[in-house]
Chain A
Amino acid sequence: MNGIPMEHGLMLAAILFALGLAGLMLRRSMLFILMSLEIMLNAAGLAFIVGSTAWNQPDGQAMFLLVITLAAAEASVGLALMIQLYQRFHSLKLDNVSRMRG
């Protein structure tokens, strides 16, 4: 592990985060948006791991466990919402759900 410099790890995390963010903003299907969210969460988790390894602190590892737990909860809620969405609208396009406009 020590062979990889911290900058590379953080760069990878930033690229993954940017990819996830781009997917979140550009994708229309809710399935892909959820996947983008997972990528962003994992990017953040990777940044924690990289940081904890570089400074030899266990806090980052513990934080990553919390992030995984959060991601699991988020996935279950998100998937439940997605099933509801499909049952109501027979489609996964998120732009259809815009009835709560001002």
Chain B
Amino acid sequence: MMTAATILSFLLPLAGTVMLAFSGERLGPRGSTFIGVGSVGLAALATAWALLAYSGASQGVTLWTWVAVGDFQPTMGLTVDRLSLLMMAVITGVGFLIHLFAAWYMAGEAGITRFYAWMNLFVFSMLTLVLADNLLLLFLGWEGVGLCSYGLIGYYYQHEANNWAAFKAFIVTRIGDVFLALGMFLIFVELGTLDIGQVLEQAPRVWAEGSTTANIAALLILGGALGKSAQVPLHTWLPDAMAGPTPVSALIHAATMVTAGVYLIARLNGLFLLAPDVLLLVGVIGAVSLLLAAFAALAQTDIKRVLAYSTMSQIGYMFVALGVGAFDAAIFHLTTHAFFKALLFLSAGSVIISCHHEQEMDKLGGLWRKLPVAYAGFIVGGAALVALPLISAGFFSKDEILWQAMAADQTGLLIAGLLGAVLTGLYTVRLILGTFHGEPGSDHARHPEPGRNPFTHHLPLIVLAVLSTFLGAWLYPGLGELFPAAPGETSDTSHTLLQVLATGAVIAGLALAGWLFVMRRQWLHSIAGKGAGARCWALLNRAWGFDALFKWGLVRPWQWLVRGLRFDFINRGMNLLALIARAGNAGLVRTQNGRVRTYACVMVLGVTVILISLVLTSGGGR
């Protein structure tokens, strides 16, 4: 029963893609929307069925053998355990709500069929990724989501910038994917299998803890996770990926795809436990990413870019949790983050469409009375983002991460997390104030057209808003038995103390934000407008200049190298041959002047020369 439901849920989005891709626009916008939303809706129902039928044991189902070469026999096999079921539920559940919202958001756009074909293919690829029982099939899903991300970032392909953003996302994540592929090769060479269960079983037998090979394998897989999850230093693609339609940002670049790296590390936890140094590096990279991104989010003017940096920052928290060995906490935060970040993005989408595609904070403002549903979405989602104590989902998951960091004695990571909480409060308040309060910055913001469709507009926002409160945190089943014991299994009084501290950090952030952005608004403006303040603003606005660093550190030197190679001396030598041939040709062409008499004369000349030479040589021979 459960496996049947899983396979159904796995194949339904693929069926949707196939139908849409081969319909050739014959279905029309309504038909395409119906199929695109319907297939994911049915997949969500099938997932619910699988959840109800789940017995508690991990089950595998092999569809067929993919490749059979000697001992190398990867299968199209699915594993159903608590982790993959949870991921399935998040992907199809949140995915369905986002698809439904997209029916409102994308109404009237050209190319609806293409949009839904890509979206369904994305859901299918993501399900492949989380259900795969071997690394090769996982890699297929991993590449599939990257491809769909590329196709959807460049959805509005008539603007050149969008295509560059799509290229950037594809290429930067590809760098990570190369590392992941190398990691896979290393695992296959060393362990002789790609089956995830067998890899985790055999790794401790083949590799000693902390051995070089284990470290390298873990590092390579970490490289893949960094690219997909937009962590330092492979993070620069995520803010530009906001060029895609907002439902795409919500589904791919907030709720599901970017958390694939977290899933990968949690799934291969045994491998990382063999490489404690790399595991610690995961946490450090997470902490660095969460602080860098939180600072950068403070200085963005585009509401979607603020949300993009906040996504990076929240994934940084998940990496911190992974780094201290609290895999359960990381997946917990992944789940709640999927709820509240999808809510924030969809609310932002509602604002953007209502204001005729205006997404600059300077041009918005004063919308809270006119767009109450989106405002409510932002308030609830923002509360979860800053981890408002007790009533929000984010509080429970983020608190778990901070507690595990503290229990693992990683004071540095803990302080980074607390500082991140203050910054999160700052940029969230700035985002909400800038979008919904103050004076409207443009005519679009003065006369917005709020979304009115109760089914496609209100319903997804309301459901996600409910899931973003403490109810969403209660839904989390806990995956404790799947993972090795986290550092802080039992909570004690220091946990309560930490909760008070974290609450203090949140309130400090909110209070600081209120003081800065409400009371001292003019003062802040004057500081950011000139001198060191302006330079600081520009640095944060460009997210610490990573783009420039890569441009001057990697892209430009590469271009110089290529240019040098184009004019190299060997090539010059080759060109010389071509020049000689061309000169010879020009000379010979001149003899073909088309005059018969000239030809006759030349022939006579030639015959004379031959005769004379014959006479001379025969004379010499005598």
| Chain A positions near chain B (C-beta within 8 angstroms) | 21, 24-25, 28, 33, 94-95, 97-102
Question: 8 Å CB contacts to A: which residues of B551-602?
Answer: 588-597, 600-601
> Shortest CB–CB separation between residue B173 and chain A, in angstroms?
57
Q: Is the CB of B596 within 8 A of A97?
A: yes
| Chain B positions near chain A (C-beta within 8 angstroms) | 588-597, 600-601, 604
* Alpha-carbon distance between A33 and B594 when the two chains are bound, in angstroms: 17
Nearest neighbor of A26 in chain B, beta-carbon distance: B597
* Alpha-carbon distance between A94 and B594 when the two chains are bound, in angstroms: 10
Q: Is the CB of A101 within 8 A of B597?
A: no
Nearest neighbor of A36 in chain B, beta-carbon distance: B600
Q: Is the CB of A100 within 8 A of B594?
A: yes
> Shortest CB–CB separation between residue B602 and chain A, in angstroms?
10
B592: contacting residue among A25, A33, A102, CB under 8 A: A102
Chain A residues within 8 Å of B596, by CB? 94, 97
Given contacts A102-B589, A102-B594, 17 further A-B contacts (CB under 8 A): A25-B600, A25-B601, A33-B597, A94-B596, A95-B597, A97-B594, A97-B596, A98-B593, A98-B594, A100-B592, A101-B592, A101-B593, A101-B594, A102-B588, A102-B590, A102-B592, A102-B593
Nearest neighbor of A27 in chain B, beta-carbon distance: B597
Q: Is the CB of B600 within 8 A of A98?
A: no
Can you identify 28 A-B contacts, CB atoms within 8 angstroms? A21-B604, A24-B600, A25-B597, A25-B600, A25-B601, A25-B604, A28-B597, A33-B597, A94-B596, A94-B597, A95-B595, A95-B597, A97-B594, A97-B596, A98-B594, A98-B595, A100-B592, A100-B594, A101-B592, A101-B593, A101-B594, A102-B588, A102-B589, A102-B590, A102-B591, A102-B592, A102-B593, A102-B594
Chain A residues within 8 Å of B591, by CB? 102
* Alpha-carbon distance between A97 and B594 when the two chains are bound, in angstroms: 7
Chain A residues within 8 Å of B600, by CB? 24-25
Nearest neighbor of B596 in chain A, beta-carbon distance: A94
Q: Is the CB of B597 within 8 A of A99?
A: no
The 10 closest A-B pairs by CB, nearest first: A102-B592, A101-B594, A98-B594, A102-B589, A100-B594, A98-B595, A101-B593, A25-B601, A101-B592, A94-B596
Chain B residues within 8 Å of A98, by CB? 593-595
Chain B residues within 8 Å of A95, by CB? 595, 597
Chain A residues within 8 Å of B588, by CB? 102
Chain A residues within 8 Å of B601, by CB? 25
* Alpha-carbon distance between A80 and B426 when the two chains are bound, in angstroms: 101
Q: Is the CB of B604 within 8 A of A99?
A: no
* Alpha-carbon distance between A26 and B591 when the two chains are bound, in angstroms: 19
* Alpha-carbon distance between A28 and B600 when the two chains are bound, in angstroms: 12
* Alpha-carbon distance between A3 and B590 when the two chains are bound, in angstroms: 53
* Alpha-carbon distance between A21 and B601 when the two chains are bound, in angstroms: 9
Chain B residues within 8 Å of A97, by CB? 594, 596
> Shortest CB–CB separation between residue B608 and chain A, in angstroms?
10
Chain A residues within 8 Å of B590, by CB? 102
* Alpha-carbon distance between A33 and B597 when the two chains are bound, in angstroms: 9
Chain A residues within 8 Å of B589, by CB? 102
Chain B residues within 8 Å of A33, by CB? 597
> Shortest CB–CB separation between residue A91 and chain B, in angstroms?
15
